[in-house]
Every structure is written in C-alpha cells, then in structure tokens.
Structure 1
Amino acid sequence: MVLRSCCKFGPVLVWFRLGYVVLLWLCVTHLRCARAETKTVVQKDAEFDVTYNDTVTSDNQIIYAFNHTVSRNKTEGVRVTVDVLSEGAESSPILFVVRQKQAVLSFQVPLILRGLYQRKYPYAHVGRTLCQPPTRSLTETQYFFVDVSTLSSLGTHYQLRISRVDSFTLHTDKKFSFTASPSQPQYFKYVFPDGVDTVIVKVNSEMTFPCSVMSIQDIQCPVYDLDNNVAFIGMYQTMTKTAAITVQRKDFPSNSFYVVVVVKTEDEACGGPLRFYPLRPDELIDAGNRSKTLDVVVSPAISSDVYVMGMLFCLGIFLSFYLLTFLVACVENKRSVDRPTVVYRKPGVTPVSPYEYGSFVDNASTLSSEAITDSIASDANYGYMGQETLKRRPFLTAIHHVAIRIERSLESVAGRSRQESLSSIEEDDYDTLADIDSDKNIVRTKKYLCVSDLARKDKRVLSKKYQIYFWNIATIGVFYALPVIQLVITYQTVVNVTGNQDICYYNFLCAHPLGNLSAFNNILSNLGYVMLGLLFLLIVLQRDVIHSRALDRNDLNALECGIPKHFGLFYAMGTALMMEGLLSACYHVCPNYTNFQFDTSFMYMIAGLCVLKLYQKRHPDINASAYTAYACLAAVIFFSVLGVVFGKGNMVFWIVFSVLHILATMLLSTQLYYMGRWRLDSGILRRIVYVIYTDCIRQCSGPMYIDRMVLLVMGNIVNWSLAAYGLLKTPNDFASYLLAIAICNLLLYFAFYIIMKLRSGERIQCMAMVCILFTAVVWGFALFFFFQGLSTWQKTPAESREHNRDCIVLSFFDDHDIWHFLSSIAMFGSFLVLLTMDDDLDNVQRDKIFVF
C-alpha cells in the first residue's frame, strides 16, 4: 500500500521540487539586479590636457566623455596617462576601458608585465597612445569614452589625463626625441612621401640599457605596444643603442606605417644581467626606473640607380681580371712561338714512338742482327760498346738494344696516346717492379733528395690520382650546396613571415633588400669568388693543354725538366674557390651562429688543398690521396660543428680537442720527417725508445734532415701554442679559431718553401714575384676590412647592432663587402703564386732540383 501511494504521488513531488528551484533562481536574480541598481554610474564631459583626480570603488563607475576634431590632412595622436595613488592596489587593480569609433583599448593599473620565468613587475604609472581611426571627410568630430571601474570596496585614488600628441607624425630626415618605459610605450606614424619607395627607420639612444624593442606595424587598431604583444605583427628588432629597419612601400597598402618603441621589462634579450628569481610564484618584483631616452629618424633608402651602379661596379672589377689575363696570355703565347722546342730524340736515329713499344717487343725476334747492329751503331750516345764489339756479338747487341728501348719506353710512358683508357692502370702498378720495392727505403731516406727521386711513378697513374681531387670536391660541393640553399631559403622565409629580424645578423645600416632577400649587397659581393675561381680554372686548363701538347711531341723540357706538372689539385682549388663564393652567399642570406660553418667549410678545404699542392711540388710520388685528404678535412669540419654547438665554455671539449690537435701534429711531423717510411703499429713505442737511445743518449747525434727538422720544430711550436691558447682562452668563435690554425700552418709552410727555394739557388721569376707582392698587399687591406666587425653572432642581436655602420662605397657596399672583394682577389692571387712560383725550373733537369 505504501509503495503504491509513493508511485501515485511521485510526479507531484518532482514538479514541486522543480518549482522550488525556479523560485530560488528568481530570488537571486532579483537581488543581483537590486544590487546593480545601487551601483552609481557617473559620466563626465572631460577635456584635453586636464588632470582628473578621482576615487573609484566597487559601488561606482566613472565614464569620461571626450570629443575632438579629426582632420584628414593632419594626424594627431591622443595619449592617455594614468597614475594610481593608493597603496595596495595590486590586489584590486583599476580597469580602464577606452571606447573609440573603431577600436577598444583596455588595460589595468597597476599594470602587471611578465618577464623571463614568468616574473611579475607592477607599474603604477601607465601611458598609452590611442590609435586614430581613418576618416574620409576633410574634418570630422570623433567621440571616445574612458570607463573606470574596480572591484575594490575600499576605493582607489587615481589621476587621469588625456593630452594631444602634436608631433605624432614623423618627417623625413628629421630627428625626433622621446622617452619610453615598459608601461609607457611610444609609437609614431610615418607617411611615404611621393617618389620615395623605400626608407630606413633608425632608432638610437645614448643608453645601453634598459633593453628595448623597435617595431614597424601597419596602420590598424589595436596597436601592439606592450612587451608581451609587440612581436605579434609587423617587423621588430631588439636594441640597446641602435636599431635600423628598412621599410618598403609595397609592404604597406596604406602608404604609411607606425614606428613602435617598447622598453622591455628585463634585459636578458639584449645580453644584460639575469635578475634574481622570485622566491614565491606570485611575488611581485620592483622594476625600478626603466625609462629610456631615444631618438628616431626616417631616411630615404637608395634608389634603383644605385643598385645598377653597384652591380656594374662589381662586374667591372672582376671582368677586368679576365681582360688582364687575356692580354698576359697573348704576350706569353707570342713568346712561346718564338721559343725553340727541344724534342726528345737521339742524333741520327729515327725515334721509336713510345706508342709502338708493344709492337716493337712482339716483333723483336724477327729483326735481323745486322739491322739491330746498324741501328745501335748509329747511336752516338751508345758509349760503352764500340763498333767492333757490336759486330762480334750480334745476339748480345740485340738483347741489349731491346732492354734500352724498354727502359726508354718506361721513362717516357707519359707520352702514350691520350685516347688510351686509364682504367687498366692502378696507382701501385709501378711499385710492383722489383727495383722500386728494393730501393724505396734507400731512396727516400737519403740525406739529400732530388725531385727525380720522388717522381718515379707512372705519370699517367699520378695524373689520374690527382684528378680524383677535382671530381671528389665537385661531388662534395653539389651534395653540400643543395641542402644549404634549401635551408637558407627557409631562414629567409621565416624572417619575412614572422618579422623577427633578430634571427639574422645583418649590418642593418647597410642592408639593401631586393625581392625577398634582406641584404642583397652582401650576397652580390661574393660574385668575385665565383668569377675568379672560374678564371683560375681557365688558366689551369690553358697550362694543362700546353703541357699535354708538349708531351705529345716529346718535348724534352716537358718530359725530364722542371717540377712534374699535375693539375688535378689546381682544378680542385679553383672549384673550391667557386664553392666558397656560393656558400658564403648562402650564409649571408641569413647570417647567424647556426649556419656559420657554411661560410668556413670550403675555407678549410682551400687551406688544406694549398698545403697539399705545396707538398706535391717536391713530393709527387708520396703525396696524400684524395680520399685520405678529404677524410681529414671532413674530420676538421666535424670538429668545427661540434665547437660551434658545444665549445662555448665547455672545458671538456677544449681538453679533448687540444689533445687531439697535439697528437695529430706529432703524427704528421713523423710522417713528413721520415717521408712516409714508418709504420704505426704495436712496435711503434719500442722503435721510438730505440731511436731516442741510439740518437740522443748513446751518441748524441744531430738530426739527419736538418731542414725538415727546422720546419717541423717551428710547426710544433706554433701548433702547441695555438692549442694552449684555445685551452686557456676558450674563444667563443671556434670556427674562426680552427680556420686560424689552418692559415697559420699554410703560411708557415709557404714561408719555409720560399726560404728553401732561395737557399737552394733557385730564383723567382718576374711574374711570380709580381703575384707575391700584389697578393701580400691585397691580403693586408682585406684583413683590415675583415677586422672591422660590423656584426657578430657571438653576442645577442641587440649587441651585434651596436657594431653596425653605414655603407662606404657607392652607398651600396659596406666594409664586409669590401672584404669579400679583396679576399677573393687575394685568394686568386695566392693560387697564381702557387701556379707560377716554380716556372724558373721548367728548363732544369729534375735530378738537379732539390727536395725540401
């Protein structure tokens, strides 16, 4: 019965409870409305340049009504300045809402701005500039309202002042000074005048800190002028003392833009000290006085005519080298025509072509003894057998004649047909001969060596060996350059899309954009590396063709005189110079610490190839193979990347690198001193102890190879000193430090080569001397401009911009562009020095040219 009664009255109870909830909600709503009706709203007609001192509580709301006349031909800014005079307002701040025709601006006072690690900084004094909505009428009266409210029941006292900014519009080439702080940002309007398509906005300050941000934004509301939102739109840069942004009219449809300057709440972005971390998450930190006085000036950028002049200037400089080279080549060609050619042949005998060596051996058994006797008897250089002896021993004469021809054919094997395939010849073919295996140690360990002692391998084999240098570096360049180009295009796209100009370390006072490229002049100035590298390849090709023709006609000088000419390393050097220009241009699309190795990788290649070429001149048979050389250079580049990423202040890295540097120096010194006749195996320590005992303790004999020992001692002193410097100073720019090591070793070896060349009685011809003097002078000027340091990625972007300077040539090129010009010319001259410095030996037999 009870259950049946509950079921009967259940729906009634549900409806009763629902009605109770509705009644309760109506009561609460009525109480809220009644309370809202008790809140007082006060509206005041306010005026500009009048300070209003009022108190606002949770029970009242104050509205200030303003009106002002806006003219289409005159732009005026309106600035709102608020001060909170009551203490403890952080718990219940005042909310200010500015309602305009096309925008609403709201902010609280005290204004809480956040820094690194979400640290909070309160500002009781706030000043904001109102954006001006555009008007189509000649004059128009616009209204705006300032609503003031708070939730504080005790009331908060404040001051409000609205004023006009008469100098709101910037004028071309006219400096304007102002003061800004984190809670009082400033921005101004600039309108492009007729005929000006590009301008440079420069902001300067005598004060390094506090750190600031300069932003370029389109004319729109709202304007992002606080530290926590200034990076939302437009282009922006952090700054200490200077900032500069190039602005193009095409990027702003309204033909005008805002220049916004914001002072940051902290200085870490500009390299300033890291402030203490708050003890509590909600702790407020006193920001102190962070006002900064700045001045801004907008100047027209260069016109299109200056771009054309800059490009013509660049092309003209390097095309002049092509013209000069053509004139020198014409003079040299005329001299070579007048110079007689000495052909390798015996007097009175028709020479057997080295191409016919195989057929001669095959048919040797069919020759009659009389024919062989007559041929050899007519040979004036056949000195140890007389005519009678030949007649008495015809069989012995025939066998000896075959041996002589075989020896001649081996010595002149370079004269074989250029069409013959080299695929069947390996580098070690010549070493398989018994005489070479038996006397290699004897020849290479002689106290005084001649070039003929170290030029015994097959010339075709060596040519193929050194051609591998060229093909390998060409392959490396292609596979290296493609991802680099893709990466820097991505960098440039990110800069253009985000507007963050702190990504790239330009010289912003002389960065001329073209299309999507932000600094076209820094890219154009690398053209010299490419053009002069190509010119060097053409010069090497000319010499290669002339030498090949001399070999084809069995020229005695080409076969037996002078330094053996192998051009593979020269081709590799010219290709490396061209790749250096390409990768340097890629680096300057967006220079920063993450891609600096693009600019230096082929510098290591060039330095290494120059050292190898110097060594190859006197040691053609025992120079390093291309695979070994490029593997070592790859290791250098690998350490360069590690140093850039992990080397800054990492003592473990510097210890490991210094130890490896010293060990590599010692191993290379041993290789050079013993001409490769030593082995790195388990018995190396026993042999070292034995040499020390026999040469230093038992008989105290001096070094057998004095000249080599002097070079290696100097090299070890230099390298050990550089290793100690790196370990003690730990330089931030590891890539440049590594490049300095390579250059110091190259200069040391080059100086040693020149000194030993003169000490050996050799001379330097006029052309080579001119190249040496010219190159030395150009290198001096180039290094002067290099050390000007217009930017540096070792510091923050704001600190780097302190080194920025104006253009110095044609208002288009800066100091670093001049470094590109001069260094490309100096490298080209250095290559010419290596190419021509031994031209005086072209008529000297190789057994009279000393090895050092």
Structure 2
Amino acid sequence: MSRCWKSRPRPSVRLCLPGLGSVVLRVLEVLWVSVCLVHSDSSVVVQKEAQFGVSYLDTVTSHNQTIYSFNHTVSRNKTEGVRVSVELLSETTKSPILFVIRQKQAVLSFQVPLILRGLYQRKYQYTQVGRTLCQPPTLVASETQFFYVDVSTLSSTSVHYQLRVSRVESFTLVFSTFFKYVFPDGVDTVIVKVNSEKNFPCSVMSIQDIQCPVYDLDNNVAFIGMYQTMTKKGAVTVQRKDFPSNSFYVVVVVKTEDEACGGPLKFYPLLPDELLDAGNRSKTLDVVVSPAINSEVYVMGMLFCLGIFLSFYVLTFLVACIENKRSVCDGLISKGLTPPSPYEYGSFGEFYVNFGVFIYLFIYCSCRSMDTVGRCRQESLSSVEEDDYDTLADIDSDKNIVRTKKYLCVSDLARKDKRVLNKKYQIYFWNISTIAVFYALPVIQLVITYQTVVNVTGNQDICYYNFLCAHPLGALSSFNNILSNLGYVMLGLLFLLIVLQRDILHNRALMRNDITALECGIPKHFGLFYAMGTALMMEGLLSACYHVCPNYTNFQFDTSFMYMIAGLCMLKLYQKRHPDINASAYTAYACLAAVIFFSVLGVVFGKGNTAFWIVFSVIHILATLLLSTQLYYMGRWKLDSGILRRMLYVIYTDCVRQCSGPMYIDRMVLLVMGNIVNWSLAAYGLIKRPNDFASYLLAIAICNLLLYFAFYIIMKLRSGERIRCLALVCILFTAVVWGFALFFFFQGLSTWQKTPAESREHNRDCILLSFFDDHDIWHFLSSIAMFGSFLVLLTMDDDLDTVQRDKIYVF
C-alpha cells in the first residue's frame, strides 16, 4: 500500500524596506509566497510499506521523494541487527542520493555515492553502501518498532538505485559491520581478538559504548571508544567498568587506503576535483571474545615475581653465613682453638649460631666503621685534591719511565694516595645518582601523559604493546610488562648491599693496618661498583616507564642506562689493573652522554639517511683508533700538531729502519681484535643501515665489553692466576642465563620500527602463568644475568687478595 500527496510548505518572509508603506510590504510578501507554492507543487512524496529481504529497484529525482516504512518486533532478551544495503545503478549523476533512516531514538543519514577522504586529501567514492542499524533498547518483553528510510535527491534527472533491508540473525558475536557483546555474570574483563588470513585491505577495529547512531565509517570510527588499526591481528582488552550498560559494540571498518597499515602509497594525479574509484575493498574476519584473567592470576603473577628475586636475597644470606663461618673457624684455628662441633648444637642450633654470628658481625662492622668511613670521607673531601700533588715517589717521578716498561705490575699503576683515588671513584656514584634523578623525573611525567592520552582518546595505536598478553591494572594498560622489571630494582639493591658489606669490612681492615689489605691484591675501590648497582636499579625503573607506553619516541628510555652499564663495566675491568690512570667520572659520563646523543640522532634521522651513516661510521672508526692509542701507550701520548710527525717517525724506526715487533704484545693483540670487530660493525651499519639504531649502538657496546672481558679472563689464566669456585660458578651460571635471556629477547613480540598494525602481527599469547609473555621472561632472565655479571666482576680477583701487588701483572 502506498500513499501520495503534494507537500505545500508555507514559508514566511518579512522584508524590512524603509520608506515603503505597509501595503507595499504586504503585496511583496504575497508574491513571494505564491512563487514558493508554485515551485513546491511539483514535489511529490511517496510512502511505501516495505518488507525485509526484498530488493526495491526505484528511481528518484528532485521532484519526488520516497519513504520506505518498516516494522519489526524487538525482544528484550534477543539481540537482532538490521542491515540496510544500497547500490547506485545510474552510471553518472551530478547530485548524490540522500538516505535518511529514522529510528525510535536515532537518525542515521548518508549519501550515495559515498565520498571518503584518504591521504593527501584524495577522495574515494563508493557506489555500494551498507549500514547496520543499532537496536534501540526496550523495557518490555516484546515491542513492535518502526523505522523509515527516506530517499531524496536534488538531481533534475532520474537516478536509479536498489534498496534492500535484511535482518542479521545471531547479531551477537557474528561479524557484520559491527556486533554487540554483553558481559556475562561474573566476568569483568574480556579480550576481543580479530583475525584475518590476509593483510590488506587495512581495517580499523573499534570498541564503542551502546548508543545510536554507531560510528562505523572511516571518517568517524575514531570519534568515541577505543580503536586500533589492524592487518592480520587485532586485540583489545575491555573492562566492564568502562561501559555502564554492561555491553559494547565491536565495530570493524575497512579503510579507504592502506598506508596506515604499512601498505604501499599508490601514485595518483592530484587533481582537486578528481574522484578515485575505491574498488572492491572487503575483508573476511574471525572475531572471538573470551574472558580475560581474573584477580587470582594477578596475585599469582605478583607473588611469583617477588618470590624469584627474594630467593636471591635468601641465597646471598646463606652464602654469607657459610663464608662467615669459614672465616671465624680459620681465625680460631690460627689461635690454637678448636671450633665447636655441629653436633654440639644440633642442626637447628647450628643454623641459629650462623645466623647470630652473621647478624652480629654485620651490625658490629657497620657501627664500628661508620665513624671511620665518615672521617675518611671528610678528610678526602676537605683536604685532599688529586691535582694538588703527584703521589709518585721522587725516584720514580717521571711517569714515562714507570708506565712504559715492557712488563708492568699492579704496584706500578697503584701508587697514588688511596684517599685521592677513593674520592675520584666515589664521584662516579654521586654523578650517576644526580643523573638518575634529573633523567627519571621528566621521563615519569612524560609516560604518565602518554598513558593519559591513550585512556582519554582511546587510540590504541599510540603504544606498541603485545596486545594478546597485555593485562591492565588501574590506569596502566600493560601491568605485567611493568611488573617484570622489578628484578632490576631488587637485584640492583641487593648488589649495593653486597658491595656495602665488602666496603665496610675493607675499611675495618685498613683501620687496623692489616698488611694484606694495604699491600696485597687488586686495590679495592668501590665507587664504580656503587655506580653499577645504581645503574641497574635505574634500568629497571626506566624500562618500566618505557613499557607504560612503548613507542618510537621513548625507546631511548629503555636503552640509556644499558649504555651506562656497559660503559661502567668496561671501566671497572680496566680499573682493576690500572687504578691510577682510569678515566675520571666527568670524562666517562661525557662520553656516555655523547653515545646517548648519537642514539637519539640515529632514531630520529638514521632511517635511510646515507649522510648520517657515513658521519657516524667515520666517528666510530676515529674513536676506536684514539681509544686504542690511549690504551696501548697507557695515556703517555699527546694529541697535538706534532702527532703526525711522531707517527711517521715511529713507522720509520720500527717498520722501515728495522723490522721490530710491537713492544706490548698482549695489548696489541687485544687492540687489533677490537679494531677488527669495531671496523666490521661500522661497515655493517654503513651497508645495512638497520632501522633500530639504538639496538645497533647497544650491540657495539656489548660486543666491546664481551671482547674485553674474554681478554681479561684469558690473560688472567695465562698469567698463572686462578679463578675461585664462587667466581667460576657465577661465570658459568651467568653465561647460561644470558643464553636463555637472548633467546626470549629475539622473539620480537612487537616492533616500533613498523606501523602499529604491522607490529600486532608479531603479538603472541602469554606463556607463563597466563600472565607473562616472552618479553617479560627476558626481563626476568636479563636482570638475573646482569646481577650475575656484576658478581663476576666483584669476585673474579678474590684469589689475589693475599698476593703482593708487585707480583700481579697488568694487562
């Protein structure tokens, strides 16, 4: 049944013309209304009672308007979608057809052809458009609702179109343009996973609250809710507390272009009025909504994390008890006394004796040494300056004579006053503490801002999470990635406590003029160890900050203190045998600042920039040569205008006039290998130009550290020294842990070098306790491996504690 009538609008226009009488005004108004009525008499409105599942082929012009009336029964306990599909049949039309859908609580309008804008304001037109209507809520068990589809145009010629309205059965959890999900009882968090077999076309997945109309176009899908671009994979964790209606829509929209997902940028002539054909852009998707983990899994994850690292505190305590018992027994035996038998106390008695002895000695050492340490520090800060005087003996006042001997001993390079060196190396700790404060505060502020922007805008493309294993807690989107960094902080603090204990015991030995502490073993300076422990704790803090919102702009937060750790470890290795000539804290941190500066430049400008890579490779090679020269000549050379003349003279005397080998064979072997490695890395960077410049720079630092460490171990064994059991266990344990850690590191669950959609292709599910992913395990293992590496540096020369320094070789 259809009805037809003529619309007769009655416009009223009043003209204000000064000087004209009311009669003239009335005549003009009557004439205007008459013209409007004549024009409107030609506009015809036709209303049709329409049916679901029927295709209507019709025409529309500026002189007629068609209204399709639909009714359907809506049940409170059943969710059903309605799909409106429209196709433009006329090949050319100057004016689009306007479709207005009037529902109970919403109005939805769109035009065909539909014009959407892409990159660089390119315009794409769609002649086939389908929209899914939202279901208005009903309070009764069953209700008949009406909606109307109004079709109109301003085209003077007839425009042909096809309209079809169909029901979408099983609207819940079956892909349409969007679908609805209702939280079941007892489920507070769910994860929505969307999978596709092909990468393109690029799509957008959006989570929106239940409201009409639904924003399901490329140009409005980001207006509300949470959204993310996707190719093959997409995942969003949704919490009930964010949706008062206890339900939400999952909207999937195909974008007009693929550049947002890393697709190719097609070249088109940029004509201002040109419309581009959108083509057949469709995608088949699988949508799965499953309950996320509950609070018990959160608790288990946190207890597991704490348990792992607290066990290292317990293990350290037990080792300290054993070492303390052995030292007490050795002292009693040296005095002719017999230590009590374990059977005298029983198993529990022995434990409490060890526990009591350890606590007593630790408190006693601390109390007795605080005054001593304080006085020593006060003297070093107030009365002793390194540049005030040279502490070399008068007979050996020429440093060139001492430091250029063919075979050097530690006593030759440990001649300066201990107070001077203590002050010099304590500056490392105070400087890195200052750097940490001024670096961490703006970082924390920035990542809080990032997380706030993500939560407010709903843009899931800002942060590169592993969305398949990202468990939110409060305002944090991925709490598990932050929690797993706890190991760096706890193990860094434990290392500081171990160093503090050694520092206290060593100061007590110096106060009682122990000849072994004064003249034997590697000179003990703990400032660099304190700096290393602090750097490990800061690595945990900044890595946690980075994982609040990992992305392209803040990756250097995660790597800055890694550079410092690598640099401090190399400095500590060098300091062991060269305490007098090691770099000062100001020089060392200035060099590390330059490294971080290049890291930032590489991240910003390094991608595909040939000029940058050439400059960096040249600087890398020159820095390697300068450092090699510094190490080979023990600092006894000058960089001035006469350096070229001296270099030519050395080449002439050593290579031309007489063919003699290098004077310092061991050092030359190390430096040649170091130059080969660094020149190779420079060539690799120049040829390959890796996108992840920060990781490339970190690889350079780690390779140099491993090379120097291997050289140190080989030379130590070659010099007839031995490695004690504890240090050997630490070396083997650390090597194994590093191997497993690197395996999990290279799994690559996300990558900020690509687009967010491409990064999600690498996302994977949790593998540990349904709470931690591969990268979390990397955090666990790498923190343990770094702690073990620090222990190796701390204990590897314990076998020399009773050896005279003039019998310990320098290498």
Q: Same fold (TM over 0.5)?
A: yes
Q: Amino acid of the residue matched to residue 203 of structure 1?
A: V
Q: Amino acid of the residue matched to residue 120 of structure 1?
A: K
Q: CA deviation at 1:765?
A: 0.7
2:39 aligns with 35
Q: CA deviation at 1:34?
A: 2.0
Q: Amino acid of the residue matched to residue 839 of structure 1?
A: D
Query: Matches of 1:508 and 1:692 in 2, distance apart?
Result: 61
Query: Matches of 1:668 and 1:23 in 2, distance apart?
Result: 100
Task: Flag the 1:697–1:107 CA change in 2: closer, same or farther, 3 A.
Answer: same
Q: Tell me, what secondary structure is at the counterpart of 2:120?
A: helix
1:456 aligns with 415
CA contact (8 A) 2:210 2:249 kept: yes
Query: Matches of 2:272 and 2:626 in 1, distance apart?
Result: 58
Q: CA deviation at 1:460?
A: 1.1
2:765 matched to 1:829?
no
CA contact (8 A) 2:538 2:561 kept: yes
Q: Tell me, what secondary structure is at the counterpart of 1:143?
A: strand
CA contact (8 A) 2:392 2:415 kept: no
2:51 matched to 1:93?
no
TM-score, reference length from structure 1: 0.87
CA contact (8 A) 2:577 2:810 kept: yes
2:265 aligns with 274
Q: CA deviation at 1:417?
A: 6.4
Q: 1:765 aligns with which of 707, 712, 724?
A: 724
Task: Flag the 1:677–1:33 CA change in 2: closer, same or farther, 3 A.
Answer: same
| Higher alpha-carbon deviation: 274-283 or 798-807 | 274-283
| Higher alpha-carbon deviation: 311-320 or 455-464 | 455-464
Query: Matches of 1:63 and 1:527 in 2, distance apart?
Result: 65
Task: Flag the 1:437–1:486 CA change in 2: closer, same or farther, 3 A.
Answer: farther
2:151 matched to 1:148?
yes
Query: Matches of 2:714 and 2:463 in 1, distance apart?
Result: 45
Deviations 1:157-190 (A, max 9, x none): 11111111112112xxxxx455xxxxxxx00000
Deviations 1:448-479 (A, max 9, x none): 00000000000111111111101110110011
Matches within 5 A, 1:54-133: 54-89=58-93, 91-133=94-136
Task: Flag the 1:415–1:58 CA change in 2: closer, same or farther, 3 A.
Answer: closer
Q: Amino acid of the residue matched to residue 650 of structure 2?
A: V
1:418 aligns with 376
Q: Tell me, what secondary structure is at the counterpart of 1:245?
A: strand
Q: Tell me, what secondary structure is at the counterpart of 1:339?
A: helix
2:784 matched to 1:781?
no
2:501 matched to 1:542?
yes
2:287 matched to 1:309?
no
CA contact (8 A) 1:342 1:557 kept: no
Deviations 1:300-356 (A, max 9, x none): 00000000000000000000000000000001111112334999xxxxxxxxxxxxx
Task: Flag the 1:419–1:177 CA change in 2: closer, same or farther, 3 A.
Answer: closer
Query: Matches of 2:378 and 2:755 in 1, distance apart?
Result: 61
Q: CA deviation at 1:415?
A: 11
Query: Matches of 2:90 and 2:38 in 1, distance apart?
Result: 29
| Higher alpha-carbon deviation: 621-630 or 694-703 | 694-703
2:582 matched to 1:623?
yes
Query: Matches of 2:728 and 2:659 in 1, distance apart?
Result: 42
Query: Matches of 1:239 and 1:148 in 2, distance apart?
Result: 34
2:444 matched to 1:440?
no
CA contact (8 A) 2:60 2:153 kept: yes
2:342 aligns with none
1:675 aligns with 634
CA contact (8 A) 1:341 1:555 kept: no
Q: Amino acid of the residue matched to residue 806 of structure 2?
A: D
Q: Amino acid of the residue matched to residue 158 of structure 2?
A: G
Query: Matches of 2:234 and 2:543 in 1, distance apart?
Result: 25
1:700 aligns with 659
Q: CA deviation at 1:246?
A: 0.3
Q: Amino acid of the residue matched to residue 638 of structure 1?
A: F
Query: Matches of 2:102 and 2:752 in 1, distance apart?
Result: 45
Q: 2:481 aligns with which of 516, 522, 535?
A: 522
2:227 matched to 1:236?
yes
CA contact (8 A) 1:102 1:133 kept: yes
| Higher alpha-carbon deviation: 550-559 or 443-452 | 550-559
2:650 matched to 1:650?
no
Deviations 1:741-792 (A, max 9, x none): 0000000000000000011011111111100000000000000000000000
2:325 matched to 1:334?
yes
Query: Matches of 1:453 and 1:811 in 2, distance apart?
Result: 58
1:641 aligns with 600
Task: Flag the 1:419–1:461 CA change in 2: closer, same or farther, 3 A.
Answer: closer
CA contact (8 A) 1:191 1:255 kept: yes
Query: Matches of 2:266 and 2:21 in 1, distance apart?
Result: 60
CA contact (8 A) 2:53 2:167 kept: yes
Q: CA deviation at 1:29?
A: 3.0
CA contact (8 A) 1:415 1:554 kept: no
Q: Amino acid of the residue matched to residue 339 of structure 1?
A: D
Q: Tell me, what secondary structure is at the counterpart of 1:293?
A: coil
Query: Matches of 2:154 and 2:42 in 1, distance apart?
Result: 15
1:753 aligns with 712
Q: Tell me, what secondary structure is at the counterpart of 1:67?
A: strand
CA contact (8 A) 1:775 1:829 kept: yes
| Higher alpha-carbon deviation: 642-651 or 504-513 | 642-651
Q: Tell me, what secondary structure is at the counterpart of 2:275?
A: coil
1:804 aligns with 763
Q: 1:159 aligns with which of 151, 162, 165?
A: 162
Q: Amino acid of the residue matched to residue 585 of structure 2?
A: A
State the aligned residue count: 757
2:348 aligns with none
CA contact (8 A) 1:81 1:128 kept: yes
2:223 matched to 1:194?
no
State the Cα RMSD in Å. 1.7
Query: Matches of 1:436 and 1:134 in 2, distance apart?
Result: 99
2:738 matched to 1:738?
no
Q: 2:279 aligns with which of 288, 304, 310?
A: 288
Q: 1:584 aligns with which of 543, 548, 558?
A: 543
Query: Matches of 1:790 and 1:416 in 2, distance apart?
Result: 50
Deviations 1:136-162 (A, max 9, x none): 111111111110011112101111111
2:56 aligns with 52
Q: Tell me, what secondary structure is at the counterpart of 2:761?
A: helix
TM-score, reference length from structure 2: 0.91
Query: Matches of 1:749 and 1:17 in 2, distance apart?
Result: 104
CA contact (8 A) 1:533 1:574 kept: yes
CA contact (8 A) 2:391 2:416 kept: no
Q: Tell me, what secondary structure is at the counterpart of 2:480?
A: helix
CA contact (8 A) 2:391 2:415 kept: no
2:12 aligns with none
Query: Matches of 2:618 and 2:26 in 1, distance apart?
Result: 85
Query: Matches of 2:651 and 2:394 in 1, distance apart?
Result: 31
Query: Matches of 1:606 and 1:551 in 2, distance apart?
Result: 29
Q: Amino acid of the residue matched to residue 154 of structure 2?
A: L
1:409 aligns with none
CA contact (8 A) 1:509 1:804 kept: yes
Deviations 1:487-517 (A, max 9, x none): 0000000000000000000000000000000
Query: Matches of 2:427 and 2:672 in 1, distance apart?
Result: 32
Task: Flag the 1:681–1:342 CA change in 2: closer, same or farther, 3 A.
Answer: farther
Q: CA deviation at 1:25?
A: 5.0
Query: Matches of 2:698 and 2:470 in 1, distance apart?
Result: 27
1:819 aligns with 778
1:377 aligns with none
Q: CA deviation at 1:701?
A: 1.2
Query: Matches of 2:533 and 2:395 in 1, distance apart?
Result: 34
Q: Tell me, what secondary structure is at the counterpart of 1:483?
A: helix
CA contact (8 A) 1:496 1:516 kept: yes
Q: Amino acid of the residue matched to residue 255 of structure 1?
A: N
Task: Flag the 1:14–1:327 CA change in 2: closer, same or farther, 3 A.
Answer: closer
Task: Flag the 1:294–1:617 CA change in 2: closer, same or farther, 3 A.
Answer: same
